[in-house]
Amino acid sequence: MTTKIDEVTSMFMRLPLMLILAIALACIVGATVIAQEGGGPRVPQRPPAGGCPSISREFWPCAKAKAAAFNPPRNPDGTPNMNGAWNPFTANGSQNIEDFAGSQFLGPQVTLIVDPPDGKVPYLPQWANQRQDNWDHYIDPLGSCYITGVPRQTFAPRGIAIIQGPKVFAMAGEFAHQYRVIPTDNSPHIGDSIRLLMGDSRGHWESNTLVVDTTNLTDSTWLSISGHFHSDALHVTERFTLVDANTILYETTLTDPKVFRQPWTMAMPIIRFEQGHEVLEEPCFETDRDLPVMLQDHKIWTGLPRQ
Amino acid sequence: MRLAAAALSVFIACPVSAQTTAARDAALPRAWDGKPDLNGVWQTLSTADWDLQDHSARLGVPAGQGVVEGNEIPYKPGMFATKQENFSKQATEDTESKCWLLGVPRTMYAPYPFQIVQSPAYIAVLGEYAHTTRHIFMNSEHPPGPLEYFMGDSRGRWEGDTLVVDVKYFTDNTWFDRAGNFHSADLHVVERYTLVTPDHIRYEATIEDPQVFTRPWKISLMLYRRREPNVRVLEYECYTYDLQEQARRGELGPK
């Protein structure tokens, strides 16, 4: 019998890591046209979002200007209505977050980082080689069926469902059944000693923007397949703003004094899936078959190595 | 004193049941669309996750009054033996022992809190155990099968003030409880959620599976709203802990 579980897991969970990545690339890039520009790197040419170029560094100022002039559809309590199924299509399933020409295993990527302007993660010097080491020696925690953490949930494969209720904003992801519930009731964070893969998120509305503050995170999650990482001191601020009824400007600033020289910011469009799209169940650990294969040449990530 | 006497006379004059019903309905919190507001963190106090039926205590298991109407699960001939065999292997073979998604209805009476986030078109049930995510799509049809989901395909509708959810397209990978009660992939569950006070949901589920049971049967239990200040659903990422321990001991991956 052909089943959803069989199709998805045979695609993503039962194959060697590199093959998975190659297939993920093919699936996630999907409608994206890969254009060859002269002899340079292959750069994904993605359609505009919300009337703005979708490349992060161009989308960011354009979308901010458009959002400032947009009066969004609203929930009965007056908050902007973002209910629905959403696709962070420029993030390429979180394969990479910096400029990347593409390789045998990972697709090309235009950096999602808008600050600093060089589009690179500002690691402290002592961590300069860690991302490469992660790629060479460790399985992406998502590959061993960990949930994404924050902010990676927002730009993980397969998109997210946003559900809004009175004083609550929730994001349910399809990939590995992960979710976040974000109270918007001015409640405080939980005690600092409770650590959660998805952290503790508290939100509030600033005009038409949902601002989410996330703490209580761990160092067990990554930011991309390519191995970008953080410590348990990570503090994430996210901003969700409607640019038009079908486009969200998503901005996230990461602060982590153990690992980063300075706070840095990613920005990207999240676009509404077509009418009727349903975010469904995608089990991961339950039907995992490929971990033994991946473990032949990669290790389980157990948190940031001590230095 | 006079006020109390007046109140008493009103109380006596009205039929008691009518009065309490009216008072109850007026007190129910309402969502934006006027439906009963199920938003919040809920949890069972039943022992159904250990055993759906009446059971005495044993080491590590609290005694419990069952949640099955009539206390009988109508297994077809030969099927009860499978349940007994399951029980003998539950330490390793139970769904929860494997850290897999628990399915429906078990997620609703497993001893972990879950949060309901409700909108008119879509209701999410978000559980602490393994980040269980249930998507309930309102006023829509099941897609054409065949399909298999651990949590089934949930389609909801409101019948008056009761949320009715029709769930099918399951796997045969999940059990109903640690006692080994089980089903096939043909399981069909109809759930009814009725907010009876602002802090209590009466949860009923009719369970149908002609491969395993001679007739449909029903469970009924109460879900309690968690009222602690700033309470939230945390995480029980079941399968990660052992993996991390093995990795730290150097038992996984290349040397």
Whether residue B223 is contained in a domain is answered as: yes
Pairing state of beta strands A247-255 and A264-272?
Answer: antiparallel
For residue A194, list chain B residues with Cβ-Cβ distance below 8 A: 234
CA distance B188 to chain A (A): 17
| pLDDT exceeds cutoff 80 at B192 | yes
| Token duo for residue B245 | 């321990």
CA angle B124, B125, B131 (to 5 degrees): 110
Whether residue B217 is contained in a domain is answered as: yes
Determine which of B231, B252, B255 to mutate to test the interface with A (most A C-beta atoms within 10 Å). B252
B106 exposed, middle or buried (CB, 10 Å; 0-12, 13-18, 19+)? buried
Q: What is the pLDDT of residue B2?
A: 45
Say which amino acid occupies B252: L
Pairing state of beta strands B153-159 and B133-138?
Answer: parallel
Tell me if chain A has a CB within 8 Å of the CB of B101.
yes
Give CA–CA dist B142/A55, Å, rounded.
38
Cis bond before residue A151 (omega within 30° of 0)? yes
Strand partners, B164: B157, B192
Whether residue B180 is contained in a domain is answered as: yes
- How many domains does the structure of chain B reveal? 1
Q: CATH number for the domain including B214? A: 2.40.128.20
Which of the residues in chain A have pLDDT under 70? 1-44
Domain of residue B84: give its range.
35-248
Give CA–CA dist A95/A157, Å, rounded.
9
For residue A296, list chain B residues with Cβ-Cβ distance below 8 A: 254
Whether residue B235 is contained in a domain is answered as: yes
Q: What is the pLDDT of residue B4?
A: 46
Q: What is the pLDDT of residue B11?
A: 42
Contact B148 A4 (CB under 8 A): yes
For residue A170, list chain B residues with Cβ-Cβ distance below 8 A: 115, 117, 124, 126
Q: For residue B48, what are the contacts with CB-CB under 8 A and spacing of at least 6?
A: B64, B66, B67, B109, B177, B219, B221
Whether residue B1 is contained in a domain is answered as: no
Q: What is the pLDDT of residue A55?
A: 95
Strand partners, A113: A266
Contact A281 B151 (CB under 8 A): yes
B53: nearest Cα among B38, B70, B33, B37: B70
Determine which of B102, B135, B139 to mutate to test the interface with A (most A C-beta atoms within 10 Å). B135
Angle at which helices A17-29 and A4-12 pack, to 10 degrees?
120
Residues of chain B above pLDDT 70, percent: 90
The predicted-structure confidence for A127-162, as pLDDT tens digits, reads as follows: 999 999 999 999 999 998 999 999 999 999 889 999
| pLDDT exceeds cutoff 70 at B220 | yes
CA distance B6 to chain A (A): 38
Tell me if chain A has a CB within 8 Å of the CB of B117.
yes
| DSSP state string for B131-151 | T-EEEEEES-PPPSS---BSS
Strand partners, B32: none
Give CA–CA dist B213/B209, Å, rounded.
6
Cβ-count burial A122-146 (b if 16+ within 10 Å, e if not): ebeeebeebbeebbeebbbbbbbbb
A215: nearest Cα among A195, A229, A230: A195
User: What residues of chain B, 193 to 222, have a C-beta less than 8 Å from chain A?
Assistant: none
User: What residues of chain B, 221 to 250, have a C-beta less than 8 Å from chain A?
Assistant: 230, 232-235, 237, 239-240, 243-244, 246-248
For residue B232, list chain A residues with Cβ-Cβ distance below 8 A: 181, 183, 190, 200
Strand spans (E) along A41-159: 42-45, 84-87, 113-115
Give CA–CA dist A41/A62, Å, rounded.
25
pLDDT bucket at B194, cuts 50 / 70 / 90: very high
DSSP B31: -
Contact A183 B232 (CB under 8 A): yes
- Nearest chain B residue to A81 by CA distance is B119
pLDDT bucket at B25, cuts 50 / 70 / 90: low
* Residues B21-25, mean pLDDT to the nearest whole number: 51
| Token duo for residue B232 | 């939230």
CA distance A307 to chain B (A): 16
Residue B114 DSSP SS3: strand
Tell me if chain A has a CB within 8 Å of the CB of B181.
no
* Residues B188-192, mean pLDDT to the nearest whole number: 98
Contact B244 A300 (CB under 8 A): yes
CA angle A21, B143, B139 (to 5 degrees): 120
pLDDT bucket at B20, cuts 50 / 70 / 90: very low
| Token duo for residue A292 | 């033994």
Q: Are A220 and A301 in contact (CB under 8 A)?
A: yes
SS (H, E, C) A166-227: CCEEEEEECECCEEEEEECCCCCCCCCCCCCCCCEEEEEEECCEEEEEEECCCCCCCCCCCC
Number of Cβ pairs closer than 8 Å across A and B? 135
Q: Domain extents for chain A?
A: 4-294
The interface predicted TM-score (ipTM) is: 0.87
User: What residues of chain A, 260 to 299, have a C-beta less than 8 Å from chain B?
Assistant: 278-281, 283, 285-286, 295-299
Tell me if chain B has a CB within 8 Å of the CB of A181.
yes
Give the torsion sign (CA, A70, A270, A45, A61). Answer: positive
Q: What is the pLDDT of residue A45?
A: 76
Q: Are A24 and A12 in contact (CB under 8 A)?
A: yes
* Cα B88 to chain centroid, rounded: 24
Whether residue B128 is contained in a domain is answered as: yes
Distances (CA, A) of B190 to B154, B178, B182: 9, 22, 17
